[in-house]
Amino acid sequence: MMPGRITGPMPERIIEYLGACGRFLHYKMGEKAGRRRIFTILSKAKELPQRELQDILGICSGSLSEILAKMEADGFLEKAKSKTDGRQLNLRLTEAGKKEAVEQEKDYQRRVRRMVACLSREEQESLLKMLTALAECWWDLDQNREEQGAIVSGDSGNGKRSSE
């Protein structure tokens, strides 16, 4: 949806705009985001067991295995036996992977700066405060969803949606 075309009550417009921003971030910044995060994590950690990387990323093992196989085929990643447990394989970046990690991080930072360049420093600070407040509120709602079920899921507690 084009900016400026969202109408309705203010709370609904806010949520619609947040959704539009979320879709933009997912589809325009999300390509290869899993790879970028893996590059970032492995460049900092140097070497990690696959399970630990999976826990950090919060994705299922099948999805991670698919990404890792592509990164390995591209020459960015290698598996090495753990120095502490010879049965365990650790993941680490190759020299090409380390160079790619640097390039990906530069590209990501450049894109992020461009995405917020339309806002002044003060506006960015204000937006960050508001988004932090929303994230904290939504986290609390999610943590207390049994008491707040109608707010989070639309379930009024009687098996019917609150809009029914």
- Tens place of pLDDT for every residue, the chain, 164 residues? 555 677 789 888 899 889 988 888 877 776 556 788 899 999 999 899 999 999 998 888 898 999 999 999 999 999 988 888 777 889 999 999 999 999 999 998 999 999 999 999 999 999 999 999 999 998 888 887 766 555 555 544 444 444 43
Domain span holding position 92: 32-146
The number of domains in the chain is 1
In a domain, 77, yes or no: yes
In a domain, 23, yes or no: no
In a domain, 156, yes or no: no
Q: Are strands 48-49 and 89-93 parallel, antiparallel or unpaired?
A: antiparallel
What is the spatial distance between Cα 141 and Cα 153, in angstroms, rounded to a whole number?
10
End-to-end CA distance of the chain: 27
In a domain, 7, yes or no: no
**Two structure tokens written together for 77:** 């990643």
> Which CATH number is 141's domain given?
1.10.10.10
Question: CA-CA distances (angstroms) from residue 32 to 26, 65, 67, 137?
Answer: 10, 14, 9, 30
In a domain, 115, yes or no: yes
